[in-house]
Amino acid sequence: MHNYPMTSYISHQSIYILQTIYLNTNLLANMVPSVGALILVFLSFLILWTLVNFFHKMWWVPTRIKRIMTRQGIKGPPYHFIHGNTKEIAAMKEQANITRFTEISHDIYPRIQPHFFTWFQLYGKNFLNWYGPQAELVITDTEIIREIASNRSVAFARPDLGSFHKKMLGNGLVTSSGKKWASQRKVANRAFSGESLKNMIPMMVASVELMLDRWKKMAESEVEMYAEFRMLTADVISRTAFGSSYLQGKEVFDMLNEIGKMAGKNYSDPHGLSLLR
């Protein structure tokens, strides 16, 4: 009995297996550059997409808005790439703060809003300015304001206060919008109905009388009106909403006042604005 056929069969099978392994190895070796090329193409596409979105938001949209508003007769300071007019605003406010008053006057608007004061003179009652890529249309023409206020067919969205203010103020009536705002407003309406406000009048009167009594005790001393009316407002809120008084919640109101100062400083300082929010 001879074993040659079996040996021949095993040899052919081994050769076939070796050829298969060799082909698969070559295939895998060829696939490695292909996967690397796919990753490179994907990263290139991602970078290109990010750049397109960036320039669309920072250049194309502001340029288009500027062109549309110019056609309608609305002018304003030129848009500067990325920062808008924030550097100009910061420079004007810094200059206004270091300039001393030459005389006592109630005309403080050029000092607290120097950019608006300047631009009103340059561009008229209505103009367009920029906080980063975000356009801000300033309207002081009474006829246009009346038309906007009486137009019920258009819904004007409230401006985005930014993440900083939302963290401080939460997502209540001041910052919310859409269905959530409508739901919160519906709940708040009950507290400010005509009957509820009538019931609040005696507590408001008590707060005012308390303030007037305090003034009488001050004789001819100077009275800081801002602080007094801030206390009056806090006292009215305490009595009508919480059934207490300002003195009982003084620490809480002082903390809220500090938070308000921080929020106001952050909003009025253009260097602190988040341009990419």
pLDDT in tens, 149-192: 787 666 666 666 666 666 667 777 777 777 887 888 888 787 77
Output the six-digit token pair for 119. 């631009």
pTM over 0.85, yes/no:
no
Q: What is the pLDDT of residue 60?
A: 92
Could you tell me the pLDDT band of residue 7, with boundaries at 50, 70 and 90? very low
Among left, alpha and beta (phi > 0; psi -120 to 50; other), residue 178 is: left
Q: Which DSSP string corresponds to the chain?
A: ---HHHHHHHHHHHHHHHHHHHHHHHHHHHHHHHHHHHHHHHHHHHHHHHHHHHHIIIIIHHHHHHHHHHHTT-B-SPP-TTTBTHHHHHHHHHHHHHSPPSS--S--HHHHSHHHHHHHHHH-SEEEEEETTEEEEEE--HHHHHHHHH--SS--PPPP-HHHHHHHH-SSTTT--HHHHHHHHHHHHHHTSHHHHHHHHHHHHHHHHHHHHHHHHTTT----HHHHHHHHHHHHHIIIIISS-TTTTHHHHHHHHHHHHHHHHHHH-GGG--TT-
Q: For the chain, give every domain's residue range.
A: 1-72, 73-156
The pLDDT of 78-87, averaged and rounded, is: 91
% of residues, the chain, pLDDT over 70: 74
In angstroms, what is the C-alpha Rg of the chain? 34
Please state, as a whole number, how many other Cβ atoms lie within 10 Å of the Cβ of residue 14.
Answer: 10
Confidence check: pLDDT of 147 > 70: yes
How far is 136 from 149, CA to CA, in rounded Å? 18
Of 77 and 9, which is predicted with more confidence? Answer: 77
Q: What is the pLDDT of residues 89-120, one digit of tens each?
A: 999 988 888 877 777 777 888 888 899 999 99
